Structure formats: structure tokens, C-alpha cells
Structure 1
Amino acid sequence: MPTSLTVHPDVQARFSDMRVELVVATGLDNTGHWPEAESALAATEADAGTGAITWSEDEPAIATWHAAYRAFGTNPRRTRPSVDALLRRLVRQGRLPRVNGAVDAYNATSVRFAVPAGAFDLDRLGAHVEIRPATPEDRFTPLGEPDEVEVPGVGEVVYAQGTEVLTRHWNHRDSHATRVQESTTSAVFMLERISADVPAERLTDAAAHLTALLAPHAASVTTATLTADAPVAHLATRHAVQ
């Protein structure tokens, strides 16, 4: 059964320039070493070392997300957007984490193009996922803390299926249950912007970059786009081999 990913009308109205490029990989082999992902991470680390990749809260790629976080009640300096946290770590420490091939691929893409990136194990999603304001009934289990349960703030923008929250603060932190791990064989990757100050072409270029990293390890990689004006995408769990 395909999963539908939709944008809630309130999010459409408040963030009319939001855009999510979706990359769906099926027949994924996420075990072992991915030399392409390692090379991409190493290249970003080298570029950070020479100053070709920088971090600043004044850059539109980060400033626009800070403004969005404040709009739904989150302090972005205490709870940082994912791209902010990852770029800040790269520039300050000179190195990015290694998790598994697919996660390394989207982290490398995120810092290369300065866009938030995340992913869900597609086989752990239900029929409907929505980007929407949180409600009092929602619950979230943080990545790496399977015994913890958090209650998101009302109005905080989240990805959710039913009352199960899949991300906090739009893209700050992922859920433990839907994380991409070595056993994942189908995944959906999200590359996001919140403002037209970040060109749409940057997201399509990022999607092409991520696709190239995924393709050697997947039977199929396809893309779709989610916007406030086109707020529904259908993500099939199986695609013909391309």
C-alpha cells in the first residue's frame, strides 16, 4: 500500500513557500561500506577546512528556518534546525558523524547544499503521514531513546502519522521507530526549504546529488515534490527497477 504524504492547510497558509523534495529508494542495501557516501562526507570536511563551506546564522539557508521555528514557538538557538546543527558541527569540529550508508549520504547532501535533510524507513510508515501542527494527543519517542516519550508543544510543526510524531520541531530530531538503519530496505528522504530565499533549484540539485549516492545501492530511486500549492505526494513502497 502506498503512503501518502500531505501538508496540513494551516502549514500551507503560514509557510506558503515551503518545499520538500522527496527521494524514494526501494530495494535498498544499507549494509556494509558505501564508498560514495564516505567520499562525499570527506569532501565536505575538506571544504569546511578550507572555508569553502561555512556556517552563519545570517545565511538565508539558516536564518529562514530560525524565523520559522520562532513562528511556531521554538527557540532555534536552544533547539536548532537540523541543517543549522549539522553545519555548525562541521565547521566547529571539522568532522561529521558516520552512521550508515544512507544516513551518511543524506548528511553529506545536507551540508553540501545547506538544506535540511532527513529520512524515514518507508516500511515503518502507515497509509498517511502529514506535516501539521502538533496537538495535545501527540506523542514522540526520540531517536536513540526508545523508552522515552515526549509531548510536543501544541502548534509545533511536526511530521506525524495519527498521534505518532515522527519529527520534532519540523526537522530538529527524528523518531526512533522510523529511523533508517542497516536493515532498512525502502526509505523516503526529505530535502526541505521554508522560504523562497532559498532557490528551488538548490533543492532539485540536492535531490540529484542524493540520488546519485543512493543509486548504486538501490533497485530503484524516484523523486517527487511537495509544496503548499501541491500538498499531496504518494510514495509507493515498490517501484520497477530503473
Structure 2
Amino acid sequence: MPTTLTVHADVRARFPQLRVELVVATGLDNTGHWPDAESALAAAEADAATGALTWSEDDPAIASWHAAYRAFGTNPRRTRPSVDALLRRLVRQGRLPRVNGAVDAYNATSVRFAVPAGAFDLDRLGANVQIRPATADDRFTPLGEPDEVETPGAGEVVYAQGTEVLTRHWNHRDAHLTRVQEATTSAVFMLERVSADVPAERLAGAAAHLATLLTPHAAAVTSTTLTAEATGVRLDTAAGHALP
């Protein structure tokens, strides 16, 4: 069943420069070792050690997300945007987590290009997913905590299908059900900006980098772009199509 990803009118109005590069991988083999993803993680760790990769809250790529979080009522120093948390961890600890090939690929891409990156198991998505403000009826089950249920704060920006929230605080934390795991065979990856402080070319470069890491392990890798001006994007199992 095709999934359509849309942006709620309120989010489009408040964040008119938002842009999401979407990479769809089908026929995915997410088992075993991904040498290129491991190399990309190791290269990021080496660059952090020499100061070639840095972290700062003053970096426009991070500061723009802090501003967005504050705009919908989240303290970004207590609940950090994903790219902020990952880069901060890399610089302070010198190492990135190893999860599975696909997750490692998007984490390596996130720190290399300083953009938030995430993914959903495409087979776990319904017909309609939306980036929208949370409502009182919404519920969220955090990644790694399948028995926990949270209620997002009203107005917090989330990815959601129906009342099932797929991410808290836009990109802070993913849901357990739609996580990308070794058994995942189709996935959609999101690379995001919320401000023109991050050039569209950087997002496009991040999408190309991620696609290169995914391609040896997938039957097909395609991409498309969602913006505040677009009505939405349909994510087929074979490709992404922007809706007119």
C-alpha cells in the first residue's frame, strides 16, 4: 500500500523554509556487515578527533533547529534535535553507536553533513503520514521501550499516522514500531532542514551520500524532495513521487 507523506498547513506556515530529502530503499538486505557504512562512521570519528568535524550550538545548522524547537515549546538543551545530540556525542565521546547497516549509514550521513537524519520501516507505515502539531489524542511508544506510552505535548511537531506518533519533537526520538531493524526490507530515510541557513545543496549532497551507502544493499534506491510548497509526496515501494 503506498504511503503519502504530507506537511500540515500550520507547520508549513510556521516553517516555510522546511525541506526534507527522502531516500527510499527497497529490496533492502539490512543483515550482516556494511563495510562502507562502517568506514563512513570511522572517518567521522577520525575527523572529530582531529577537529575537522566539530559541534557548536552556534552552528546555524544546529541553531536553526534550536529555534524551531523553542517555537513549538520544547527546550532544545533538555531535549536535543537528533543532529545536535549525535554530533555532540561524537565530539565529546569520540565514537558513534553501531546499530545496523542502514541506521549506521544515516547516522554517518547526519554527522558528515550536519543535518538530522532518520528512517521508517516502509512496511510499517499506513496510507497517510503527516508532519503536524501533536494533539491530545496522540500516543507515542519510544524506541526500545515497547511497553511505554507517552503523550506528546500539544503543538509539539511530530511525524504521525492517525493518532500514532512516529517521532517526538520532530526528530528527537523515533517510535519503536516503525524503527529500521535487521529484518527491514523497505525503508524511507528523511534528511531535514528547517531553515535556509542549511542550503538545499547540502541536503541534496547528504541524500546522495546516503544513497551511495544504501545502494550495494538494496534492489532499488530512489529519492524525492518534500518542501513547504509541495502538497505531499507519495512513497511507493519502487520510488518516491511528488504530488502535483
TM over 0.5: yes
Letter in 2 for 1:32: G
Helix, strand or coil: the match of 1:215?
Answer: helix
Letter in 2 for 1:26: T
2:218 maps to 1:197: no
Letter in 1 for 2:102: A
- Take 1:236 and 1:121, find their aligned partners in 2: how far apart are those partners? 13
Deviates more, 1:225-234 or 1:122-131: 225-234
2:72 maps to 1:99: no
May I ask how many residue pairs the two structures share in their alignment?
Answer: 239
Letter in 1 for 2:91: V
Q: CA deviation at 1:23?
A: 0.2
Letter in 2 for 1:21: E
- Take 2:111 and 2:121, find their aligned partners in 1: how far apart are those partners? 22
- Take 2:191 and 2:221, find their aligned partners in 1: how far apart are those partners? 15
- Take 1:128 and 1:40, find their aligned partners in 2: how far apart are those partners? 33
Letter in 1 for 2:32: G
- Take 2:230 and 2:45, find their aligned partners in 1: how far apart are those partners? 36
Deviations 1:133-179 (A, max 9, x none): 00000000000000000000000000000000000000000000000
- Take 2:224 and 2:135, find their aligned partners in 1: how far apart are those partners? 28
> Which runs of structure 1 show a deviation greater than 2 angstroms over 4 or more consecutive aligned residues?
none
Q: CA deviation at 1:230?
A: 1.1
- Take 1:219 and 1:36, find their aligned partners in 2: how far apart are those partners? 17
Helix, strand or coil: the match of 1:53?
Answer: coil
Q: Which residue number corresponds to residue 242 of structure 2?
A: none
Identity of aligned residues (%): 84
Structure 1, unmatched stretches of 5+, are none
Residues 1-242 of structure 1 mapped to structure 2, 5 A cutoff: 1-238=1-238
Letter in 2 for 1:118: G
- Take 1:224 and 1:2, find their aligned partners in 2: how far apart are those partners? 15
Deviations 1:96-128 (A, max 9, x none): 000000000000000000000000000000000
Calculate the aligned-residue CA RMSD, in Å.
0.5
Letter in 1 for 2:22: L
Helix, strand or coil: the match of 1:25?
Answer: strand
Deviations 1:178-221 (A, max 9, x none): 00000000000000000001100000000000000000000000
- TM-score between both structures, scaled by the size of structure 2: 0.97
Q: CA deviation at 1:238?
A: 3.5
Structure 2, unmatched stretches of 5+, are 240-244
- Take 2:97 and 2:231, find their aligned partners in 1: how far apart are those partners? 33
- Take 1:224 and 1:147, find their aligned partners in 2: how far apart are those partners? 35
- Take 1:231 and 1:70, find their aligned partners in 2: how far apart are those partners? 26
